[in-house]
Chains A and B, each alone.
Chain A
Amino acid sequence: MFEFCDFSVNDSLHILMDATLNFYERSPLVACTGFLSVLCSIPLWFILNFAVKIKNIDNEAVRIRLEHEFSMASLKFHGDK
């Protein structure tokens, strides 16, 4: 099928990897951002999910408790009447 090519897939991959490594050596900023985003994304995802879920559950608990207190206060008020 690829008879018109002189080189194999292995050689082409080798050339691509060399090109990317040269690019990263010339621009370390891009390489650093990519590497660190890969490094930090998974622990950040776990930590922030944990924190946000706890936060939402506690806020809901306090909101429901406050509504319950208000409803009980109104019941007491009407009962006194």
Chain B
Amino acid sequence: MDFFLSFVAWFVLLIASLYAWSAYERRKEMLPKVLAYLSRNDACTQQQEFARYAFEDALSISWPLYLVKTSLLIADRDPDITRVTKQLDELRDSNPEADCELDEIYSMMFRLNLRFNFITHAIAFLCFKCSSRFRGQKMQNVLSRAYVERTHC
């Protein structure tokens, strides 16, 4: 029991240090990228807002659970969500260059969030796998879309 509790304490310290490291790396790598994205002329206001929310959610703990929630809404084909997905497809077709850079920001956000928040990601993955709504469906690009649609819910 002693050994187990000491392991828990070191684990808590390790996660806190990982959080601090990801915050530092967010400032060093992600902040100049996001500021450069905000000053672009190609990107419309919606995409700039998505970049801002991605920057804020890189360090949020409960974010993967919202991701799973929105993916469940997409699987249910909620009318609001389908409307937003159509809008996003139009955006993606209208200016693809800005969208590629936005995808880079999203991938960086995932990398920073997985570093310290892997426990919540595992819980969200289990929720995603155990839900019976996805049994017979073919899921493509749901998780990557779900983040963007969370901002509208």
Query: Does A62 lie within 8 Å of B45, measured CB to CB?
Result: no
A65-B38, A70-B45 known; A40-B56 Cβ under 8 A: no
Query: Does B16 lie within 8 Å of A69, measured CB to CB?
Result: no
Chain A residues within an 8 Å CB radius of B52: 62-63, 66
Query: Does A66 lie within 8 Å of B49, measured CB to CB?
Result: yes
Query: B84 an interface residue at 8 Å Cβ cutoff?
Result: no
Q: Per a CB cutoff under 8 Å, which of A33, A44, A47, A62 touches B5?
A: A33
Pick from B19-27, B67-75, B92-100, B120-128 the stretch touching chain A. B19-27
A32-B1, A51-B19, A51-B23 known; A40-B12 Cβ under 8 A: yes
Interface size class of B (residues with CB under 8 A): 20 to 34
Chain A residues within an 8 Å CB radius of B140: none
Query: B39 an interface residue at 8 Å Cβ cutoff?
Result: yes
A28-B2, A36-B5, A36-B9 known; A66-B48 Cβ under 8 A: yes
Pick from A1-9, A12-20, A53-61 the stretch touching chain B. A53-61
Query: Does B5 lie within 8 Å of A54, measured CB to CB?
Result: no
Chain B residues within an 8 Å CB radius of A36: 5-6, 8-9
Chain A residues within an 8 Å CB radius of B31: 58, 61-62
Type the 1/0 row for B91-110, where 1 means its CB is closer than 8 Å to any CB of A: 00000000000000000000
Chain A residues within an 8 Å CB radius of B119: none
Compute how far the CA of A39 lies from the CA of B9 in the bound complex, rounded to whole angstroms: 9
Closest to A28 in B: B2
Query: Does A62 lie within 8 Å of B16, measured CB to CB?
Result: no
Q: Could you list which residues of chain A lie within 8 angstroms of chain B, going by C-beta atoms? A: 28-29, 32-33, 36, 39-40, 43-44, 47-48, 50-51, 54-55, 58-59, 61-63, 65-66, 69-70, 73
29 examples of A-B residue contacts, CB within 8 angstroms:
A28-B2, A29-B1, A29-B5, A32-B1, A32-B6, A33-B5, A36-B9, A40-B9, A40-B12, A44-B12, A47-B13, A47-B17, A50-B23, A51-B23, A54-B20, A54-B24, A55-B26, A55-B59, A59-B56, A61-B31, A62-B34, A62-B52, A62-B55, A63-B52, A65-B38, A66-B49, A66-B52, A69-B38, A70-B45
